[in-house]
Every structure is written in structure tokens, then in C-alpha cells.
Structure 1
Amino acid sequence: MKSLILSGSLLLQAVAFAQTAAPPSASAPGQPLTISQAVDYARLHSPGLQGLQAHVSAVQALEITAGLRLNPSIVGEGTQNTLSNTDPNGPPFYGIGLQRVFETGGKRSLRLDAARANTGVASAQFDDQRRSLDFAVRIAFTRMLQAKLALAIANDNLAGYRRTVDLMKVRLDVGDVDRTDFDRIELQLAGFENDQTNAQLNLTQASEQLQLLLGEPHGLTSFDITGTLDLPQLASTEKQLEDAAIAARPDLLAASRQVRANEAAIRLANANGKTDPQFGVEYEHSGTGSTGGFNLQIPLRIFDHNQGEQERTRREAESSRLLLQQQVNQVISDVDQAYAAYQAAVVQNARYQTKYLAEAAHVRDNLEFAYRNGNATLLDYLSALQDYRLTNLAALNAQATAQTALHQLSYATATEVNP
């Protein structure tokens, strides 16, 4: 699945909320976090997301520049001044004036519209990055939870097999089994020990990855999470999920706002092709006389009507409309693919949870009992142990894959599909 990239006042409210108060569910990273608490914590403490918030504020600051009126100019002059006692050219002349360009065509209002539209695009893109962060946190949380459960399984398997080795040692001591069979059983202990070591390493790495997303530069060994990989019943249909995605996806909103921003740019480019007159007033003093006057300058836009910018903005607008339609198609495809992946993962997970996991445990327990009592071969018992280990890990992977598919579906729809 491709990785996919609020307006003005809504964004400011969200940013202010994020900077001033944590959600009620947020906890300190030293305490066990639920998946929703981890998402809330990451939204508040992720340096990357905070940097994007600052970028949106920077874009919004351009609205101030767009709304500024043109400054007037003061013009002063003095002529016929001399350092001698007499001036054959007559008395000195002094003048001062005030000039200002008056914008026509509503340029200031259109600049504001264009700047606000660009802020809307940036804020929607920020919202999409937050969606991506939420998804990354959920995936990392699921991986850490999977690693915790895998470590628990590895610990249980190791403890159970050590009991088998201890029992076989007793039988070896009394002569019920020979040394070769005992060594073969004890050699299998290395596999269980390796499983436990690898599971511990996976848990440590998964914890570090999740804490990094939460904005913690140094992983805490006391960091912990709590949750389950049990799947809820999905209540929404595929069509309902498509409609929800079209209404909620921030990348689609950004594409829609880009169309409006380009349309605003067209109107501004047209207005910039209009003439702006310059009007000024002046005061003049020469000898003992004082006079006043005014001047008006109207540029003759005979050749340059801003045609190039007008054409560019029109083409940009047409491009953004086509890209918007492409984004709509991409959103629907994302939902359809995520929905199909979830349905497949649910079926696969159900196979293990309702059948194969229990069968593997049943076979292992029966053959362990039979072997301890001399009614099964060592090869049968070791094969049952291997099948049980692989089935347990496969069942756990299937459960985690289904949870990941559920997160992908939430990401594709930009909604929380988990009831």
C-alpha cells in the first residue's frame, strides 16, 4: 500500500489543544500504555509532528503578508541652493510630497484568499502526516504486543521442555532410557533456549521502535504496553468504508483544497494584470512663496498584462483537478485492497484459533504422555514438539497479521474501524 501524504481556525484550535493539555487517556511512558494511549502520547510528543505543526504556522503567517496594504512614499527635493551670499539663479526651491500606489481589481482581498487557501492545503497535509504517525504507532504497538506474547510462549515452551528433560534424567538414572535417547532429547533444549533468546531480543527492539515513535530519544527498560490481539467483529461493509474514506481522508482533502488554491491563484493572476495608478500630493516653497499640487501616474500596460502567469495558473488548476480525480480513485483502491487483506487475514487467523492450535497442543500432550510411559517413539515425540512450536508461532503471526490488516483498514479510511 502506498504511503499517503484542519482549515485555519480549526488547525489553530487543534495545535493549541495539543500544546496545552494531554488527552485524558494519555499516560507517562513508564506506565503500561494501551494502543489508544500510545497514539495520543505520540501526537503530543513526536518531534516530527511538532515540526510539521510549526511549518503550518509558518505557512499561515504568509496570510499576514498577503493582507498588508502598500506603503506610501515620501518624496523630498531641493534645488537652486548655493553657498555664496548671492544666487544669480533666484531663490532656493524646496518641495516635499506624499505618493501612494492604489491597487485595483481587489488584489489585496485576492492575495488573502490565495494565502488562506495555501494554509488550508498545508493544514490538510499536516493532518495526513498525523494519520501516518497514528498508523506507524499502531503497527509498532502490535509488533511489540506480538513480541511480548511470543516471549511468553517461548518461556512456557522452555519451562515445559525443561520439565521433560528433568523427567528423562530420572529415567536415565534408573535405566528406563539409554544415554543416546537422553542426549537427543537434551539437544532439543537448545532450540527452545534460542527461541527464548530471540523472542527477548525481538521484544527489546520492538519496544525501542515504539518508543522512538512516541518521541522518546532513549528507550526505557521499564516501558510496557497492555492489550490483546483478539479481533473485533467488523460492522461496516466495503461500500460504507469507501464512503467513510472519501469523507475523511486528509490527503483527499488536501487535493481538493489544492484545486481551490489554484482557482484562487487564477483570480489573483487576472487581477495582477490590471493597472495600479499612483497618486501623490506635494508642497513646494520657493523664496517667499508656497504652493501645493498633485500628480497622477497611470502605467500603460500595452504589452504586459500578466499573460504568462494567467496561463500558468490556469494550467495548474486543470492539473490539480485531474490529480484530485486520481486521488479519489487511489482512496477507493486503498480501501478495497485493505478490506480484502483484512478478510483474508481473518480467515487465516480463524483456522489456527478454532482448529490447528488446539490440535497441535492435543497431539503434543498425547505423545509426551505416551513417550514418558514407553508407548511412543522418541522421533514421534520430537516431531510433535516441533509441530507445536511452529503452530504456536504461526498462530501468533496470523493473529498479528490480522491486527495489522485492521490497522491498515483504519489507515486507508482515516477512521477507527475497530468498534
Structure 2
Amino acid sequence: MFVKSMIAKQIAKTDTKCRSLLAAACLLLLPCAAFAQTLQPPSSPSAITMQQAVDLARAKNPTLLAAQQNLLSVKAQEIQAGVRANPYFTLYGTNVTLPAEGASNPYSYSGQVSRLFERGQKRRWRLDVARSTTVQTDAQLQLTIQQTVLAVHQAFTNFVIAKAAKKLADDNLADYRHELQISHDRYAAGDIAKLDFERLDLQLAQFETDESNAITAAQQASDQLQVLLGTDKPRTDFDVIGDVVPPPLAFTMEELEQKALAARPDLKAATAAVAVADASVKLAYANGTTDPTLEGEYDRSGTYNSAGFSINIPIRLFDRNQGNKETAKFTAQASRFSVTAAHNQVISDVDQAYSGYFNAKVLSDRYNGHYLDEAKDVLDIAQFSYQHGGLALIDYLDALRESRSVTADALNAYSQTWMAIHQLSFATATEMIP
């Protein structure tokens, strides 16, 4: 009877503890107040937005400045393409030390002016080639700008995510140190064994490592972004402000394909290359025409004056620019195939970028709408249960590791979604961020 009474008391005691744990679990499983928003890192008052970072890069990035100067140098070739052939002036004399009369060979002077006259509208086609080249170079500049903006977007997102990871690491370390202090007090009071406390203390090293790695990643991300913004020496007080959780996009794949076909600078550059090639064909045929040289001459020999003229016309029996004509024609045909290839590449880039965004957004939404809150609930319940003797230490440590892993995976999912948005903006040459 005594044994049965002890068993009944133990069952009642266990049942009471289970009901207490169940009540705590029900309280903790209430919807968390947007736990994902706790990942949003704080920013200084001087922090810049993503658009401000892009504006700074456009104004100060040395690669862009070099590309802009290259465009100006190409445009200057239009001036050279439009110049006409210079005239020539020739003056010579013979026997200038002899008198005008009484000598068998009196002095003589001669002045000549000559000029080459271009035929076949060479100047027109040179200008056409130069202007088309300027258009092509401008499209290439826009592509360089687009690539730089993509790099800025990616570096900006890396910095924001790195700041969020650092904030998370700082918070986790502070919380765990507080938890460790409680465990130390319990160990000092004899409530837990030395082995359990030391295992908890060893776990602190991982939190400290996470914080150290997060600090390094944030510093490196800051430096990488500042380099793109044209900063001579990265500043330690540089800061950005941006959302960790990516926004949804309201475009269909077909809409994005049409935007890309209308705006992609590499497609525009390929189209401009066709215009350059066509003008080069016309110039090659024009260069195959004969250019006469007209010359006027004035002579004075002794006391006699005379004037004359001459016309120099090359006889193009052999060289009629045949090779350059054929080369220009094949180049023009090749440029048309390049436009087709660029068109197909645009469609492929958009489709791949959209697929990457769609899958990344689905995963980030799962973390934002389910897994993050659930991981926090599991950790809170495990912590409460362990502190009240309802959970083994090994299970509590597993809950700690799972919480850290899920939160890190959530940040990675957010980062991948942001990168997919930036890639989609690059593929469509359209700003996708609302």
C-alpha cells in the first residue's frame, strides 16, 4: 500500500508538471509579432538608401567615369570623319642667282596649288559610320552603367544582410550569456551538475564565433560597397538603411520579356552594330571609286609669266578595294546574326532570372511566414522546459542549434531573393524594386 501511495503521488506530481509545461507551450505558441522584423538592423541617421547608393555610384564610380570619357572620345571621331581633304601648296625656284636676261638659263619660279576631290560620297559614309559607332558606344556605356548598378545593388544587399546577421549574433550572444549566468547560479546552488554547466559554457564559444564572423562580414561588405561608390578610403562610420525582407513583384514573365526587349542596352548595341556595318559596306564601295587630283600652276621664267593646270586620275585596274568590300559585306551579315543571338539571350536571361526569383521568393516566404516563428517558439519552449527540469540538456542544446540554423537559413533565403530581384532588374534593364 505504501508503494502504491508513493506511485500515485509521483504520477500526480508528474501530471501537474506536464500541465504546467503544456500551459507554457500554449502561451508561447501564440502568433509571434512578426519575428522576421526583429532581424531588421538599426541604422545611423546618416545612413544612405539603395537609390542614394546608386546615385553616388553614377556620379563617382571611376569605371563609369572612364566609360563616359571613352564615349566622348568616340563622339569626337565624328568631327574627324567630316573633314575634307586639305589642299597642297608647292613653291620652288631654279637658278635664282642668275640674272633674268643675258643668261642661257635664267632664274625661274613656280607656285602650285592642288587638291584631292573625293567621289562616291566618301565623306557622307564616313560620317555615317562614325555616328553609328557613337550610338553603339553609348549603348555599351549604358550596359556598363547597368552592370555597375547591379554590383551596387548586390553589395548594398550584402551589407544589409551582414548587418542583420551581426545584430542577430549580438542578440543571441547577449541572450545566451544571460542564460549562462542563470545556469551558473543554478550550478553554484547545486541545481545542475558540473558537466551540464560546462557543456552549456562550451556552447558560448559558438555564439562568440558567430559574432566575430558577423563583424568581419559586415566590415567587408561595407568596404566593397564603398569601393563601388568611388570612395578613396573606406570609412568606418559608413552605413546603409534597407529592408531585410524582400518585397513581392507584380509582373508576369511575358511583361518582363517585353520590358527587356525594349530596354536592354546590349540588344541596342547589337542593333547599332548593324547600322555601323551597313555604313561600312557603303564606305567600302565608295573607297573603291577613283578620286581625281586637280592642280593649278603659276610659273615665271626670267621675264616670262605662264599659268597651267593638271588633273591626276588614278587608273584603278587592279586595286578597286575588292577585299574590303567583301569583308564589309560578310561583317554586316554577321552583325545581323548577332542581333538574333542577342534577342534570344535577352529572353533566356529574363526567363532564368524570373525562375530564380520565383523559387527564392517561395522559400523566403516560408521562413517569413512560418519557420522563423516556429523556431522561436521551439527554442522558448525548450528553454522553459529545461529550466524547469522537463527537458534534457542535450535536447535543449539541439534546440539552440536548430534555432541558430533556421535563422541563418532565413537570412540566406532573404539574401537569395534580393539577389534574384537584382538579377531580374539587370535582365530586364528595368528597376524592379517598388
- Fold conserved between structures, TM > 0.5: yes
Structure 2 partner of 1:4? none
Find the partner of 1:221 among 217, 228, 236: 236
Structure 2 partner of 1:98? 113
Offset, 1:257: 0.3
Paired residues for 1:100-179 under 5 Å = 100-179=115-194
Q: Secondary structure at the match of 1:415?
A: coil
Offset, 1:229: 2.4
Q: Secondary structure at the match of 2:367?
A: helix
Paired residues for 1:336-415 under 5 Å = 336-415=351-430
Deviates more, 1:131-140 or 1:174-183: 174-183
Q: Secondary structure at the match of 1:100?
A: strand
What do residues 355-403 of structure 1 show as CA deviations (whole Å, max 9, x unaligned)? 1111111010001011111111111111111100000000111011101
Structure 2 partner of 1:329? 344
Q: Secondary structure at the match of 2:289?
A: coil
- Alignment check: 8 A CA contact 1:252 1:328 kept: yes
Q: Secondary structure at the match of 2:112?
A: strand
Q: Following the alignment from structure 1 to structure 2, what is the Cα–Cα distance between the partners of residues 272 and 153?
A: 70
Q: Secondary structure at the match of 1:95?
A: strand
Structure 2 partner of 1:232? 247
Q: Following the alignment from structure 2 to structure 1, what is the Cα–Cα distance between the partners of residues 116 and 61?
A: 47
Deviates more, 1:161-170 or 1:226-235: 226-235
Q: Secondary structure at the match of 2:291?
A: coil
- Alignment check: 8 A CA contact 1:30 1:220 kept: no
Offset, 1:148: 0.2
Aligned residue pairs: how many?
Answer: 391
Q: Does 1:187 align with 2:202?
A: yes
Structure 1 partner of 2:260? 245
User: Which amino acid in 2 is paired with 1:288?
Assistant: T
Q: Following the alignment from structure 1 to structure 2, what is the Cα–Cα distance between the partners of residues 230 and 166?
A: 33
Deviates more, 1:349-358 or 1:254-263: 349-358
User: Which amino acid in 2 is paired with 1:418?
Assistant: I
What do residues 312-339 of structure 1 show as CA deviations (whole Å, max 9, x unaligned)? 1111111111111111111110000000
Offset, 1:116: 1.0
User: Which amino acid in 1 is paired with 2:378?
Assistant: V
Q: Secondary structure at the match of 1:76?
A: strand
Q: Following the alignment from structure 1 to structure 2, what is the Cα–Cα distance between the partners of residues 281 and 83?
A: 26
- Alignment check: 8 A CA contact 1:95 1:284 kept: yes
User: Which amino acid in 2 is paired with 1:100?
Assistant: R
Offset, 1:50: 0.7
Offset, 1:117: 1.0
User: Which amino acid in 1 is paired with 2:46?
Assistant: Q
Deviates more, 1:295-304 or 1:35-44: 295-304
Q: Following the alignment from structure 2 to structure 1, what is the Cα–Cα distance between the partners of residues 255 and 361?
A: 19
When residues 391 and 87 of structure 1 are mapped into structure 2, their CA distance, relative to the original with a 3 A threshold, is farther
Find the partner of 2:293 among 231, 256, 278: 278
Q: Following the alignment from structure 1 to structure 2, what is the Cα–Cα distance between the partners of residues 324 and 87?
A: 78
User: Which amino acid in 2 is paired with 1:339?
Assistant: Y
Larger of the two Rg values belongs to structure: 2
User: Which amino acid in 2 is paired with 1:126?
Assistant: L
User: Which amino acid in 1 is paired with 2:206?
Assistant: G
Q: Following the alignment from structure 2 to structure 1, what is the Cα–Cα distance between the partners of residues 48 and 138?
A: 29
RMSD of aligned C-alpha atoms?
A: 1.6
User: 5+ unaligned residues in a row in structure 2: which ranges?
Assistant: 1-43
Q: Following the alignment from structure 1 to structure 2, what is the Cα–Cα distance between the partners of residues 374 and 354?
A: 31
Structure 2 partner of 1:9? none
Offset, 1:114: 0.7
User: Which amino acid in 2 is paired with 1:213?
Assistant: L
Normalising by structure 2, report the TM-score.
0.87
Q: Following the alignment from structure 2 to structure 1, what is the Cα–Cα distance between the partners of residues 45 and 164?
A: 20
When residues 288 and 198 of structure 1 are mapped into structure 2, their CA distance, relative to the original with a 3 A threshold, is same
Q: Following the alignment from structure 1 to structure 2, what is the Cα–Cα distance between the partners of residues 225 and 247?
A: 32
Q: Secondary structure at the match of 1:71?
A: coil
Identity across the alignment (%): 44
What do residues 209-241 of structure 1 show as CA deviations (whole Å, max 9, x unaligned)? 111111113110000000102222211110111
Normalising by structure 1, report the TM-score.
0.91
Structure 2 partner of 1:289? 304
When residues 249 and 85 of structure 1 are mapped into structure 2, their CA distance, relative to the original with a 3 A threshold, is closer
Q: Following the alignment from structure 1 to structure 2, what is the Cα–Cα distance between the partners of residues 303 and 175?
A: 108
Structure 2 partner of 1:78? 93
User: Which amino acid in 1 is paired with 2:376?
Assistant: A
User: Which amino acid in 2 is paired with 1:58?
Assistant: S
Deviates more, 1:266-275 or 1:226-235: 226-235
User: Which amino acid in 1 is paired with 2:398?
Assistant: S
- Alignment check: 8 A CA contact 2:101 2:302 kept: no
Structure 1 partner of 2:272? 257
Q: Following the alignment from structure 1 to structure 2, what is the Cα–Cα distance between the partners of residues 283 and 382?
A: 107
What do residues 291-347 of structure 1 show as CA deviations (whole Å, max 9, x unaligned)? 222211111112111111111111111111111111111111000000000000011
Find the partner of 1:67 among 82, 86, 91: 82
Deviates more, 1:324-333 or 1:278-287: 278-287
- Alignment check: 8 A CA contact 2:100 2:107 kept: no
Q: Following the alignment from structure 2 to structure 1, what is the Cα–Cα distance between the partners of residues 115 and 300?
A: 22
- Alignment check: 8 A CA contact 2:267 2:343 kept: yes
Q: Following the alignment from structure 1 to structure 2, what is the Cα–Cα distance between the partners of residues 342 and 247?
A: 21
User: Which amino acid in 1 is paired with 2:171?
Assistant: D
Offset, 1:80: 4.5
